[in-house]
Amino acid sequence: MIAYSRRRERDRRDVFQQWAMQHGWTVVPAPNVDWGSRLPGRNRRGVSLALFGAVGGYRVSVAEYSYTETHTSTSGDGMGGTTTTTSSHSHPYVVIVVHLDEPHPAISVQPRTAVSRIGQVLFGDAGPVTGDQNFDKHYRVAGDPVAVGQLVGPALRAEHLAGTVPLWALHQTELMTYQPGRIDSPYQIPNLAAPLIRAAALLRVKDQRKL
């Protein structure tokens, strides 16, 4: 079973490599990136595979990331002793990064969940920073208010409300989003990257240049 899984994974990566060669992309196993520190599970070594290339004139990276969650439980064994059971569950994600030309302050768009609304009532909140009541009702933009005002304009807010762009985080030159799952086929990559590229195009970044 293990040998079969390894062969299947090797065959899958061969398909990625062939696609990359045909489309001018690069495949890098276990790339030296720090994305894991900004993803669920905070697994710094969790990026197992990344593809680097261009979509729609933007430099793009699409990667596979995972972290493992371990649970340990203890119960009686019926004979006066205890039994300890440990189980592990892997959480896989697809990570998409659009690389901008210039670094920017860290900001992110997050859903304004019921939990965050309760926290606002109990502990206070700086309040909406966009001034768009409909947007601020559904989303919270974390980061420097000046940067938020400069980068997150009406067009981008409208796309969020329409559900056509994903939640994202901007760190230096990296605009990032992620979703559960794996890259089933490299032919998915343009469609995986398209919504984040749309967000990148709508960021009000001065002198933003395409390739």
How far apart CA 136 and CA 31 sit, in angstroms, is 37
Confidence bin at 8 (pLDDT 50/70/90)? confident
* Model confidence at 6: pLDDT above 80: no
SS (H, E, C) 12-45: HHHHHHHHHHHHCCEEEECCCCCHHHHCHHHCCC
Q: What is the mean pLDDT of the chain?
A: 85
Higher pLDDT, 84 or 204: 204
Across the range 77-104, mean pLDDT stands at 81
Segment 148-166, tens digit of pLDDT: 888 999 999 999 999 999 9
Please tell me the predicted confidence (pLDDT) of residue 204: 77
What would the two tokens of residue 142 be? Answer: 């974390």
pTM of structure: 0.84
How much of the chain, in percent, has pLDDT values that exceed 90? 63
Rounded mean pLDDT, 83-101: 86
